[in-house]
Structure 1
């Protein structure tokens, strides 16, 4: 009887430890987190709290004038870039608590939503244009500015950018 009780207690302890480890992992690692990568990220771009970067819609991060203003500022880029195929290019990046952007990550898919690639010089031009947007407003929580993730997607159709969302 004593052995069965010991086995039950040991099993309970192991299950509790596994649950605690799993919960810790779930609360500290999120899908889509952008960790600093010295090979591609600018070391001068600094976030205020590496442990707490939230989604833009949770904190109210926005660009002055909204997507309409972004489209207006990127109009020249939109009209002169030519692409060889159609698809969607999504830029995910951080707007830090100082209203600066950095840590860009890019996902490209074709019209069937399968991963693809586009001309790298076009991608660099779009990224530089996004970096040059200066009217970002960091989200806030309890009146304190936060670091937030943000996404901008570019729809490519018939070789041209047809939408930014």
Structure 2
């Protein structure tokens, strides 16, 4: 009788066991990973760590923001350019990208956020100018963790007031 009851409990479990083909996930391996997009990304940009490996965030080591001359150099370069737009956009334009182990950048992504932190698409002219400006920054410092050169994600958050950059974050 015990064996019969055990079999009755075991039978539903066994009937639910099915083998399925492994499916390829449409989601990245890590939250925030930027996947290569042949429509927008430079095919010559090479990651130093293979695509299926983890890329670090800029804050994963104690050095933080790594640009020759630090953020001040970016602010000074921005001041020498005419990055204004006709619109009266208020909010943020965030440019996120990958810095490889050689200090080269690629896989750029841009978002516009209004002053209430809602994603918007209001000032494409200024967005395109800031993307070009960010791509022109060429003094990124490669990072090492535990003696190994790594790829890392970086972002620049431009605060926009009345269609002009008022501050660069972080």
TM-score by structure 1 length?
0.80
Gaps of at least 5 residues in structure 2 are none
Q: Give 4+ residue runs of structure 1 displaced > 3 Å after superposition.
A: 7-11
State yes or no: 1:52 paired with 2:54.
yes
Residues paired across the two proteins, number: 153
Q: What residue number does 2:39 align with?
A: 39
Q: What residue number does 2:115 align with?
A: 111
Instruction: Quickly say closer, same or farther: Cα 1:36–1:138, change in 2 above 3 A.
Output: same
Deviations 1:72-113 (A, max 9, x none): 112123x54124311100001000111001111111111111
Deviates more, 1:57-66 or 1:39-48: 57-66
Larger Rg: 2
Do 2:94 and 2:110's aligned partners in 1 also have CA atoms closer than 8 Å?
yes
Alpha-carbon separation, structure 2, partners of 1:80 and 1:32: 28
Deviation at 1:134, TM superposition (A): 1.5
Answer 1 or 2: which has greater helix percent: 1
Deviation at 1:7, TM superposition (A): 4.3
Q: What residue number does 2:84 align with?
A: 81
Deviation at 1:5, TM superposition (A): 5.3
Alpha-carbon separation, structure 1, partners of 2:122 and 2:103: 29
Do 1:84 and 1:118's aligned partners in 2 also have CA atoms closer than 8 Å?
no
Deviation at 1:65, TM superposition (A): 2.1
Gaps of at least 5 residues in structure 1 are none
Q: What residue number does 1:159 align with?
A: 163
RMSD: 2.5
Alpha-carbon separation, structure 1, partners of 2:119 and 2:157: 14
Deviation at 1:9, TM superposition (A): 6.4
TM-score by structure 2 length?
0.78
Alpha-carbon separation, structure 1, partners of 2:127 and 2:149: 30
Instruction: Quickly say closer, same or farther: Cα 1:3–1:118, change in 2 above 3 A.
Output: same
Q: What residue number does 2:102 align with?
A: 98
Deviation at 1:146, TM superposition (A): 0.5
